[in-house]
Amino acid sequence: MSNSKLIFDLELDVNSVPERIIMNSSDKQAKDVHLKSLMVAGWDSKTKETLRVDLWTKDMMVNEMFIMYHQTLMSMANTLEKSTGHDKLAGALRDYCDFFAEQTKIIDKK
């Protein structure tokens, strides 16, 4: 069995707000990737809770955050469908993503 690690280095200001987020992986698939935002979620099966880390740098623009949320939600819809087979739920989430994109004006209304 092989192992791989994801490493996130944070450079924080005096108020502990991230100024830089740098991602690396032990298998070298990611090397010094500079991120403006990071969302990590994991499932704790003992407590039956989702544990989250959400970070963003000072220079992350609101519109960029809207795009990131949209892409993340779409990815979650795809994963939901693939992992559970619940195409109706995944479709409902995609419908919400369309609404989100229109409301944030990150795509043109058709």
Please write the tens of the pLDDT for every residue from 50-60.
999 999 999 99
Is it the case that residue 82 has pLDDT exceeding 70?
Answer: yes
8 Å CB contact between 60 and 36: yes
How confident is the model at residue 29, as a pLDDT?
85
- pLDDT band, very low/low/confident/very high, at 14 (cuts 50, 70, 90): very high
**How many CA atoms within 13 Å lie on the side-chain side of 8?**
16
Rounded CA separation 73/101 (Å): 11
Q: List the beta bridge partners of residue 96.
A: none
At 25, is the pLDDT very low, low, confident or very high (cuts 50, 70, 90)? Answer: very high
Q: Which residue has the tokens 């519109």?
A: 63
Q: How far apart are CA 66 and CA 70, in angstroms?
A: 6
Q: Given a cut of 70, is residue 16 above it in pLDDT?
A: yes
